Structure 1
Amino acid sequence: MSQYFGPLKDYVNSLIRVITTDGRTLQGTLLAIDNQTNLILTDTIERTIQEHDSDAPNEIRELGILLLRGDLVLICGEVDEEMDDEINWMAVKGDTIGSTKHV
Structure 2
Amino acid sequence: MSLLEPYIKKNVLVLTYDGRNLVGVLRGIDQAVNIILESCHERIYSEEGIQKFPLGVHIIRGDDVAVVGEIDKELDDKLDLPSIVADPLKPIVY
TM > 0.5 between the two? yes
Is it true that 1:67 corresponds to 2:64 in the alignment? no
Structure 1 stretches of at least 4 aligned residues deviating more than 2 Å after TM superposition: none
Deviation at 1:11, TM superposition (A): 0.5
Aligned residue number for residue 43 of structure 1: 39
Is it true that 1:18 corresponds to 2:14 in the alignment? yes
Q: Secondary structure at the match of 1:13?
A: coil
Q: Secondary structure at the match of 2:19?
A: coil
Count of matched residue pairs = 94
Aligned residue number for residue 84 of structure 2: 92
TM-score normalized by structure 1?
0.85
**RMSD of aligned residue pairs (Cα, Å):** 1.2
d(CA) in 2 for partners of 1:74 and 1:31? 18
Question: Percent same amino acid among aligned pairs?
Answer: 32
Q: Which has the larger radius of gyration?
A: 1
Q: Which structure 2 segments of 5+ residues have no match?
A: none
d(CA) in 2 for partners of 1:62 and 1:83? 20
Deviation at 1:38, TM superposition (A): 0.2
Deviation at 1:101, TM superposition (A): 4.1
